[in-house]
Each structure stands twice: as C-alpha cells, then as structure tokens.
Structure 1
Amino acid sequence: MIKDSWFTVQNIDDETYAISEYGHWEKVHSFLLIGERKAVLIDTGLGIDSIRRVTDKLTSLPIEVITTHVHVDHIGGHREFDKIYVHEGDKDWLINGIQGLSIEQIRNDIKRDITIPTPLTFNPNTYQPFQGVPSGLLKDQDTVDLGNRKLIIYHTPGHSPGHLSIYDTTNGYLFTGDLLYDKTPIYAFYPSTSPVDLIDSLERIANIKNVNLIFGSHNTLGLNPAILEEVKHAVQFLKEKQLVTFGTGIHKFKGFSIQF
C-alpha cells in the first residue's frame, strides 16, 4: 500500500486503484486502470496536490486521461499528463472554462471544509482550474484497448453535456462519474445540467449487462450492482410523477438520491 500525505490509495484489484481525496469535502475519487500496453486514469481530482506523484508509483506505463466531465474536482491534475480525452459536449468548458462559474466561487469551494493539512504548494487564493485543448475526443460506444482489458465509453449527459461513464468489460466495473453515487445527492439543479438527460442516462446504465461493481466519483467505493434495479424504479417513478424538472427538490431512493 502507498502511503501519501494527501491522497488515499486503495486497491480494487492488482491492476485497478482508487486514488481518493478524503481530506476535502468533495471526497472525490480518481481511478487508475492498468493494462498490458498502457494505463488509463479516469479523472485527475482537485489539483490540490500532485496526482502524478501517486500514479508514477503505481505504474511505469504511459497514462492516458479519460475525463468523465469537466468540473473542477475532476480535472485538477490534467496539466500533469500529455494525453487528455473528453467528450465533445464538454470540450468548450475544458478549453475556455465552465460557463457561468466565477473564479471566486471556484476558489471558495476549493478551500472550504478541508480536514487534513494541504501541501505548501496549494494556495486557494491563486488556484487556477485547468484549461487546455484535449488530445482527442471520445464519443458514445468508443472502445479503449489497454492490451488485456477493454473499456467501453458511454455518453451519459445530464450532470454535464459531455458526461461519460466507462465500462470495464474485462472486470465488470462500471465507472459512473457524477451520474451515480451514494450518500449525497446526485446534482442536476444547476443551469448547466439537464434533469431529462440525467434520467435518460441513469436508465441507460441500469441496463448494462454483467456489471459486478459500480464506482462513482464520490463517497462509497464499489456499490453493489443491485442498486441498478433501484435506479430503474426511480426513473419510472420520477417520470410518472412528472418530477423530472428543475425545482422539484431532492428525491430519495434506496441507496441514492437526486436533486433537481
């Protein structure tokens, strides 16, 4: 096990790691998937500390970054890697910044409710979220071959226009970004979100076959795939009650909740 002053590294299996930032209120997870020829890092965290310091200890293979979506807590370490991929729907945000989100708000959010010491290099008053041109674009049903494991890309908009989920066909792992996680509400109440798209995306991932474990980007690691049956129930309920619209509040279900 790797001990680190900021990141918590947890083995999912011998070739898959969660790299978590539990000292921050977001409790965000990034995921390193190691193959025979290359590795994929799903998101790069908050950027408070160097995630590359951790990934270099875990693999010597070239690393490509797949961005689940362009929010600050998922792209913080992007500048440390050469190959960055994103969906077309979030490309503009990656290049020009998230529309409607001020740097003052970003800095206020990045510095609040931190429970462990941050590195001396971190200054919230000068923090700048990553902006840059991606190496390439991913689209729905693209496959990423790591040599001994294959990933399938699902375009799952709602939380952001270009949100992606990633299915590891070799292990049955489904990485859901901010589309599905437990404990805190799944957010679709910002002007940049779409409640209708979010529900359609949840319905879609609920029908993926042979899922063994679900890894959202926040809170509990490794949700039981039985939660996908509750997702189907939630989708049906919200549609029937005509609740899939801004302003209807928090809707609680078994194992997760959604806020519109």
Structure 2
Amino acid sequence: MYYQVEEQDGYYRIGSPENVFCYLFVGSKQAALIDTGHGFGNLEQTVRSVTDKPLVIINTHGHCDHTGGNAQFEEVCYIGEKDIALCQEHSEAAMRRDNAKRAENSMNFETGETYNGLPEGFNLEEYCSRGTGTLQTVSEGTVFDLGGITLKIYETPGHTQGGISVLYLEKNILFVGDATGMFVWLFAKETTDLTTYVEAVQKMYDLNAVSYIGAHNPNPMKKEQLLRYIRAAKEADYDAGEPFESFFGKEYEPRVCALDHMTMAEMFHPDFASVVIGKDKRK
C-alpha cells in the first residue's frame, strides 16, 4: 500500500513516501481527517480501510502538499478563509505537474539518497485534472464533535495567512500543520510578517498542549521547543542568513536564519530552530 497507517494515542497517522503526514480521528459518530497531502495515492481508499463513518476534512492551510488529495473526497473540506485562493492556485494543473515531477525525484535529506515518491501506475493527466474539492471556510473556535473525540480550531497565521491548527481536546494535542517547527518557510507572498508568526506561536505555547504535531515530522514537538522557534523569529537577521534554494518564491531570495549561527548542515541537530525569510522581511 502506498500510504502507511499507524495507530497512535487516540488517532491514526497516515504517512506517504513524500514525507507528508495526514491524521485521522474516528469517533463514535463520525471521523475527521486533518490534511490530504499531495494526493498522489488513493487516500480515500486508505481512509475507508480504517473507517466507514461520515467524514469531516480539515485543511490546516492551502499549500498543495496539504490539500492535493481533497478532490478524492465527496465531503466538504474546511479551510481558513484567507487560504481559499491559495488552495485554488496550488490545485492548478501546472502546479500539480511540477509537484509530481519533484516527487518522482524525491530526496532523503538525511542520507542524500534519491527515490521515486509516486505510486505504481500513477496517472499524471488524471492527477493534473483534479480541483480543490468542495471548500468551506472555518474560523477560530469552531468545534467538531466526533463522539468521544472533540476537535477545536485555532487560527495560527504565519506560514500562510489563513493557517489553522486543530486541538484534540480529550488528549490536549495540537495539530499544527506547518504553522511552526524547526524550519518554517516565511518568505512567499502568502506568508505573514514575523510579528504575526511570533504571536501565533506564542498562542500555541499558551495553550499548554501535551504535544504539538506537525505535518512533516513524525516526532511530536514539546512546549519548550516553541520558545526556540519564537526566538529564531525574533532574532532573524536576513543579511546574516544562509541562502536557500527553493522550488518557488525565488524572487524573494530566501535565506535560512537559524539560532546560534547554525547552518543547514546542522538541520537535524536537536537544538536547531530557524525561519526562512525573504529580502522583504529584512530588518
């Protein structure tokens, strides 16, 4: 199977070769799926292999690697209002084609090895013809009662203007998508200023969650780590940053601004924290 389903503490983690994780919750009344990844494989079939309950889909933000599988589902996909246009842009055929090409030449950044991240029998033209799915806006404070599992929405802009995080109330776990982490992209047109990002991470910190789950790292983040992410943003110095080669937003000339003069070579050091900003965010 293209997707790997692993049962966690009260939810399921769905992983894929392109290193994107989706999260599935199954309550007594209905189920919920946080993010749909790139959607290269049959995610709908994978979800239905776990549960046949009515499904709620939540997109943490509008980027292609979080909404690309939306169109596989008939259900409504909830997303922050300010990210609807972004989701539409990232669902266009040209963007999908580029994503598939990169996935075909994926790289393990820890080992440097390359591999094909597409499923066997992948149909490029069918993939490029998909849309956004049925989008519906969601706002702060919205609660989804799945039956024994309750999910609450928090607005956490920064990485994108309409980014949201989802709190699993019974377990006190916050699912943040790409809202924060050790390597946050804050340089593209859809990102906010650094102050807004810092305020969002402080908001996450103040929630005092047991753990914070991102979309590209299977290891939960702890509350104390968020303080490093805040400090990385507050101390970011574009002029001293390390140039970063991105597959989009090159016009912003992004640079990695890491804590304590670390470089990309130290990205997997446990104390690494950074923001990737553009020249327009130079202090």
TM-score normalised by structure 1 residue count: 0.82
2:26 counterpart of 1:34: yes
Alpha-carbon shift at residue 252 of structure 1 (Å): 2.2
For 2:137, give the aligned amino acid: L
Alpha-carbon shift at residue 94 of structure 1 (Å): 3.2
Distance 1:98 1:126, change over 3 A: closer
Alpha-carbon shift at residue 219 of structure 1 (Å): 2.1
Instruction: Tell me what 1:249 maps to.
Output: 255
Q: Is the 8 A contact 1:95 1:133 kept in 2?
A: no
Aligned equivalents of 2:3, 2:96: Cα separation in 1 = 25
My pick for the range that moved more, 161-170 or 224-233, is 224-233
Alpha-carbon shift at residue 160 of structure 1 (Å): 1.6
Instruction: Tell me what 1:222 maps to.
Output: 220
For 1:201, give the aligned amino acid: A
2:48 counterpart of 1:56: yes
Count of equivalent residues: 245
Instruction: Tell me what 2:264 maps to.
Output: none
Aligned equivalents of 2:7, 2:138: Cα separation in 1 = 27
Matching residue within 4, 11, 14 for 1:8: 4
Alpha-carbon shift at residue 135 of structure 1 (Å): 4.7
Alpha-carbon shift at residue 92 of structure 1 (Å): 2.4
Instruction: Tell me what 1:44 maps to.
Output: 36
For 1:16, give the aligned amino acid: Y
Instruction: Tell me what 1:198 maps to.
Output: 197
Alpha-carbon shift at residue 202 of structure 1 (Å): 1.7
Aligned equivalents of 1:103, 1:117: Cα separation in 2 = 14
Aligned equivalents of 1:203, 1:50: Cα separation in 2 = 37
Distance 1:232 1:55, change over 3 A: same
Q: Is the 8 A contact 1:45 1:74 kept in 2?
A: yes
Distance 1:124 1:80, change over 3 A: closer
Aligned equivalents of 1:86, 1:158: Cα separation in 2 = 15
Instruction: Tell me what 2:173 maps to.
Output: 173
Aligned equivalents of 2:174, 2:62: Cα separation in 1 = 19
RMSD between aligned residues: 2.8
Alpha-carbon shift at residue 86 of structure 1 (Å): 0.9
Instruction: Tell me what 1:163 maps to.
Output: 163
Instruction: Tell me what 1:78 maps to.
Output: 70
Aligned equivalents of 2:133, 2:126: Cα separation in 1 = 22
2:12 counterpart of 1:17: yes
Which of the pair is proportionally richer in helix? 2
For each residue in 1:27-86, what CA deviation from the matched residue of structure 2 results, as whole angstroms up to 9, or x when unmatched?
A: 110000121211110001111101122211212211111001111111122112222111
Distance 1:8 1:104, change over 3 A: closer
Aligned equivalents of 1:198, 1:29: Cα separation in 2 = 22
User: Structure 1: where are the runs of 5+ without partners?
Assistant: none
Distance 1:45 1:129, change over 3 A: farther
Alpha-carbon shift at residue 190 of structure 1 (Å): 1.5
Aligned equivalents of 2:140, 2:4: Cα separation in 1 = 31
Aligned equivalents of 1:205, 1:85: Cα separation in 2 = 20
For 2:41, give the aligned amino acid: D
For 1:221, give the aligned amino acid: N
User: Which structure 2 residues correspond to residues 123-134 of structure 1 after superposition, within 5 A?
Assistant: 123-124=123-124, 127-128=127-128, 130-132=130-132, 134=134
Distance 1:31 1:129, change over 3 A: farther
Instruction: Tell me what 1:94 maps to.
Output: 87
Q: Is the 8 A contact 2:80 2:164 kept in 1?
A: yes
Alpha-carbon shift at residue 105 of structure 1 (Å): 3.7
Distance 1:166 1:129, change over 3 A: farther
For 1:108, give the aligned amino acid: K
User: Structure 2: where are the runs of 5+ without partners?
Assistant: 107-113, 240-251, 260-270, 278-283
Aligned equivalents of 1:232, 1:132: Cα separation in 2 = 32
For each residue in 1:161-186, what CA deviation from the matched residue of structure 2 results, as whole angstroms up to 9, or x when unmatched?
A: 2111111111011111011234xx21
Alpha-carbon shift at residue 8 of structure 1 (Å): 1.8
